[in-house]
């Protein structure tokens, strides 16, 4: 409860900051975009990890204004980044189930994209399987509208939940992100490697682009390249970093 009270004021006090983790295209070894990841730096409690405060934000409903802030910040940064490097980078934003119930969410997204002059296809919204589990109709409707607008939809943390393959068929996903717990073991044990290989093949046959998360070594990268994975992100390339740092990082690679 103390955390919830603090979180209520965190937006106003400017304690929430977006970090960005770059994503790479394996074949060209170039940056294709980034994932926005929220950070909370509290003046006395220090850095509170999102795994701790996002669930609290969801339960309290604070995720709605926080999520709006995330969308606006991430898209403003994307616009600046695209102009600065003259590249059509993408921006991936994580969405909680509660946000898809917010009828203002899609209006905010549309208005912000128009404001900052970014094409709809440059935005990716990441959801986890948990969002789909209860099968509420408003979720289905929101996902259909997102897809109709040309905004990309990602299945995040694939492999950790129920991994119901029917979700991939039933909902308009564009991207599948393989959870880092599988990437961790691919060079160490055959079963993880086989699972990742099969997931990539299945994704491609469904027309999905594959992102491997949590790539930490050159060996993992080489193997993922051999397995035909499309995009990668992870500490091997970069941790999530502040906006200014990402601008410098990407400019140095041009």
**Contact residues for ligand G, defined by CB under 6 A:** 21, 37-38, 49-51, 54, 70, 94-96, 156-157, 180, 213-216, 234-235, 240
**Which of 214, 207, 212 has the alpha carbon at shortest distance from 197?**
212
Cα(133)–Cα(119) distance, integer angstroms = 30
For residue 239, how many other CB atoms are within 10 A of its CB?
11
Residue 38: Cβ-neighbour burial (10 angstroms; 0-12, 13-18, 19+):
buried
Q: Which does 216 bind (CB under 5 to 8 A by kind): ligand G, Na ion, Mn ion, none?
A: ligand G
Nearer to ligand G, 37 or 62 (CB): 37
Binding segment for Mn ion among 62-70, 155-163, 203-211, 225-233 (CB under 5 A)?
155-163
Q: Three-class SS string for 214-242? A: CCCCHHHHHHHHHCCCCEECCCCCCCCEE
User: Sign (positive/negative) of CA torsion 227, 150, 120, 93?
Assistant: negative
Residue 49: CB minimum distance to ligand G, A: 5
CA distances from 196 to 78, 102, 168 (A): 30, 35, 16
Q: Does residue 35 belong to the site contacting Na ion (CB under 5 A)?
A: no
Binding mask 71-100 for Mn ion (x = CB under 5 A): -----------------------x------
Residue 126: CB minimum distance to Mn ion, A: 4
Residue 128: CB minimum distance to Na ion, A: 8
Cα(24)–Cα(211) distance, integer angstroms = 9
Q: Which of residues 156-215 bind Na ion (CB under 5 A)?
A: 156-157, 213
Residue 194: CB minimum distance to Mn ion, A: 24
Q: Which does 183 bind (CB under 5 to 8 A by kind): Na ion, Mn ion, ligand G, none?
A: none
Question: Which residues of the shown chain bind Mn ion in the complex (CB under 5 A)?
Answer: 94, 126, 156
């Amino acid at each position: 409860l103390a955390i919830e009270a603090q979180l209520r004021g965190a937006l106003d006090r400017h304690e929430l900051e977006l970090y960005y983790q770059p994503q790479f295209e394996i074949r060209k070894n170039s940056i294709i975009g980034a994932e926005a990841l929220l950070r909370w730096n509290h003046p006395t409690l220090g850095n509170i990890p999102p795994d701790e405060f996002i669930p609290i934000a969801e339960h309290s409903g604070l995720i709605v204004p926080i999520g709006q802030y995330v969308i606006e910040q991430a898209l403003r940064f994307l616009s600046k980044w695209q102009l600065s490097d003259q590249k059509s980078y993408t921006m991936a934003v994580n969405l909680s189930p509660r946000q898809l119930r917010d009828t203002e969410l899609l209006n905010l997204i549309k208005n912000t994209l128009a404001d900052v002059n970014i094409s709809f296809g440059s935005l990716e919204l990441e959801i986890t399987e948990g969002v789909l589990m209860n099968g509420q109709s408003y979720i289905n409707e929101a996902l259909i509208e997102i897809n109709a607008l040309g905004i990309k939809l990602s299945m995040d943390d694939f492999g950790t939940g129920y991994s119901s393959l029917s979700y991939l068929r039933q909902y308009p996903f564009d991207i599948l992100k393989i959870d880092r717990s599988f990437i961790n073991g691919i060079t160490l044990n055959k079963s993880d490697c086989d699972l990742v290989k099969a997931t990539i093949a299945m994704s491609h046959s469904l027309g999905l682009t594959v992102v491997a998360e949590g790539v930490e070594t050159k060996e993992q990268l080489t193997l993922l390249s051999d397995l035909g994975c499309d995009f990668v992100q992870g500490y091997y390339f970069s941790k999530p970093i502040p906006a200014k740092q990402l601008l410098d990082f990407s400019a140095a690679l041009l």
